[in-house]
Structure formats: C-alpha cells, structure tokens
Amino acid sequence: MPDSSSTPAVENRFFDRPAETMATAELRQLQTARLRTLVERVAHVPFYREKFAADGISAAMIKSPDDLRRLPFTTKADLRENYPLGFLAVSRDAVIRYHGSSGTTGKPTFVAYTRADLDMWAGLCARFLVAGGLRPNHVCQIAFGYGLFTGGFGLHYGIEKVGAAIIPAAGGQTQRQLMLMEDLQTEVLICTPSYALHLAEVLQEGGIDRSKLALRYAHFGGEPWTDDMRQRIENDLQITCFNNYGLSEVIGPGVSGECAWRNGMHIQEDHFMVECLDPQTLEPVPDGEPGELVFTALTKQAFPLIRYRTRDIACIDRTPCPCGRTTARMSRVTGRTDDMLIIRGVNVFPSQVEEALLRVEGTEPHYLIEIDRPGTLDQVTVKVEVRSSDLSDQMSSMQKLRQRIAREIHAVTGINMTVHLVEPKSLERFTGKAKRVIDNRKL
C-alpha cells in the first residue's frame, strides 16, 4: 500500500533541523554511543541482567549500530511476566508519570517516565507536528482520550512545546466537539482516523455549515488506516491529514510521523533504532518488504526497552526524501501479527477488507467481520453499512452491490466472504481504537 505524494502538502519546516537532517555517518555514531550507554543503564534491570549474563553481553562490545542484533528481544509477554514495573530502570522517586497500554482483557501493561523522558517525548511530538503544518499561532483540538492511553497527553505536551493553543476536549461527545470547533475556531484536529470519520458524518447530518469552521489540518494516530480512508476524510472534512505512529511501550506518539510530502513516516532514529524483521525467522527483511517493526528506545531513562517486538507490520524506506530529513521512513502499519487472521489457511488483515470497501461506491468504511467454523471450514461474514442515499428498495440493485463488494474483497484477500448490507449507522461507532473483528471459532 504505497503512500506517495510528489508535492508537499504544507511548507517544509523543522522543529529540530540539526537532529532531523543529521548525516548518516553522524547518526550511526550517535546511535552507537547511545546504544552503549543504554546497555550500561539497563544492566541492573533483572530481565536484561539475566539475558546479558547468559549471552555474555557487555556495553564494551557495542562498536556499531549493527551490534544491536546481538541483544535480546523484549516482548509483550515479557512485560506481563514482569508486571507491574519489573522493567523500571530508575528509582520510583525519579518517575513523574505512569501510562498504560490499552489492553483489551485483563490488566494493562505500565510504562513510566522521568522528567527528562517527558521533555524528550514532547520534543519528538513537536517534530512531527511541525513537519505536518503545526505553527505556534494555531488552535488545536485534542479529541484523544486523556488517561492511561499515551495519545492525549503525548500530543498535548508536543503542541505546548510548539507554542500553539490547545483545546483539551478529550474523546467522545461529538456534538460538543463540533460546538468547540465552531466557537473556538479550531484549525488542527487530533484524534483517531475512525473518530474523524464519525465526526464528518455527524457534521453532515447536523447540517453544520462547513464554512463556519476553521479546520485545516489533522494529525491522526492510535490505529492503522488506509490511504483511501485519508482521501475520504480529506474530502468530507476538507482538511489535510497527516499520519503519525507510536506505541506506549516505546514511548507513545512521536516514534515517527509524516513530513510535508506524506510519503511514509520519518522515524526519529536519533532516539529509536528500528528493525524490520520476518516475524517467524526474526531475520531482517529487505527494505520495501513488509515485516514486524522492532524498536529500541535509546534515550529513555525510566522504561527503556531493547528490541521491543511491536507486532506491527510495515515496510521501511531508506531512499532520500525531498524534505531533507535523513531518517528512515516507515509505511503505514498494514496489520498486526496478532490481528492477522488465518482464514482457510490464508493470512488476512482487517485493513484489507477496509481497502476493498473503500473501492466500492455506496458503502461506508464501517464494517464488522465475523468468523465462524460451523464444521471444518471457516465461514466469514462481513457486515457493511450502506450509504443512506444508496439504500434501495429494489432487491436487484442491493444484490448487485453485495456481489460487487464480495468481488472486491475476494480480489484483495483471495477469500470468499458473505456480505450482509446493513442500515446506515447500525454498527457500533468507536471514539478510540475500532474493534472490527468477532472471531467465534474455538481455536
């Protein structure tokens, strides 16, 4: 799924030009020094102490960034086994903030920040915000949850760092969001892409006059989305959208973000080393090919993880970018190793179904995938919302639409799925991350 753009969407500006445009040799030198210090700093964390001892690892053996490959991986399961704060690398007194990942079941996994960590984090968010058009005179509305989730607070302090104004609206209450947008003349929207889609819908229904809003840009993160969805949101809200990426285990938002050319997200490689690996063999995949992203947080004090396996699937691009940033870029996240559905032996990502739906006129990108295995064969049903203007009493035209969707889904995934058309707005809406799959198989 190539993100490509030949013209800049905004003027090319930098928050920290020297860091963002560092020469490759200089970056490698910095990474080596930081990696060596990191190995020293985590040597007393029990998990790493044991692994280092078993593998004979010491800081002295780090002579280039390539030596990263000698270090052990860290997984979500390792975080759970060392719950709540087994990976803490500083004393509890030095911690001034805790966040947690949005676990769907059971307990969250916690992360921690020192004052220096929070300052560094804000600076990293400021980098991608400025790259994506944020200026000190803008008014930003944060419609992310403020809580254990890193999205709200991460962006909040990034925007403060730039010096723009913040409306901390937090998630939900869509009518109120629109009221704030109109009355305070919000120019920049911060939320998940699925919530932006919902906002656009409510805006259209409520008959709110778009010309009364000052909205110009949006920065989306927190969940994977497609380029087609970007087009849809840009058309519906008449704004320019930028994509950013991060996860709490690595730091939160600020790991990477798009520049004016929007041709992949620049990874802040002076703070995070990235690897793109085959999730089965854990060997590197060539640039441009999808693999699991693995990050090492070089500079975090409180909770630095080494080679954290994100389970996010994306590609890496190291070709030069017209913006002048020298860092590697990552593609959109096209799936997760644990979101990956194996249907009749074929690997399928929910994002592929979304991609297919966006190709069919008359459907909304609101859908629910249900998987059953009544006998020995998997059966997949996709519920798809039809646009109200395309709802028809004629059986034949609905039948045609259903077949068209099934054909597109088959073209993208290689799987035959049963399509059910449902009324507009009958599927659940999400203010945070969307849940698009119900797997009823007893696997």
Q: Cβ contacts of residue 291 below 8 Å, gap of 6+?
A: 276, 277, 278, 279, 284, 285, 313, 314, 315, 316
CB of 15 to Zn ion, least distance (A): 13
Query: Contact positions toward Zn ion, by CB under 5 A?
Result: 259, 321, 323, 325
Q: Indicate the residue type of 24.
A: T
Q: What b-and-e string marks burial along 372-386, b requiring 16 or more CB atoms within 10 Å of the CB?
A: eeeeeebbbebbbbb
> Smaller CB distance to Zn ion: residue 325 or 436?
325
> Smaller CB distance to Zn ion: residue 255 or 321?
321
CB of 353 to Zn ion, least distance (A): 30
> Smaller CB distance to Zn ion: residue 321 or 341?
321
Helix (H, G, I), strand (E, B) or coil at 234: helix
Helix (H, G, I), strand (E, B) or coil at 368: strand
Q: Which residue has the tokens 């004090």?
A: 301
CB of 152 to Zn ion, least distance (A): 26
CB of 295 to Zn ion, least distance (A): 19
CB of 362 to Zn ion, least distance (A): 36
For the record, the structure tokens of 320 come out as 């030069």
CB of 131 to Zn ion, least distance (A): 7
Is residue 422 within 8 A of residue 400, CB to CB? The reply is: no
Is residue 172 within 8 A of residue 193, CB to CB? The reply is: no
Is residue 262 within 8 A of residue 290, CB to CB? The reply is: no
> Smaller CB distance to Zn ion: residue 12 or 102?
12
> Smaller CB distance to Zn ion: residue 200 or 259?
259
- Tell me how far CA of residue 254 lies from CA of 111, 135, 221, 244, in angstroms: 15, 17, 10, 7
> Smaller CB distance to Zn ion: residue 125 or 321?
321
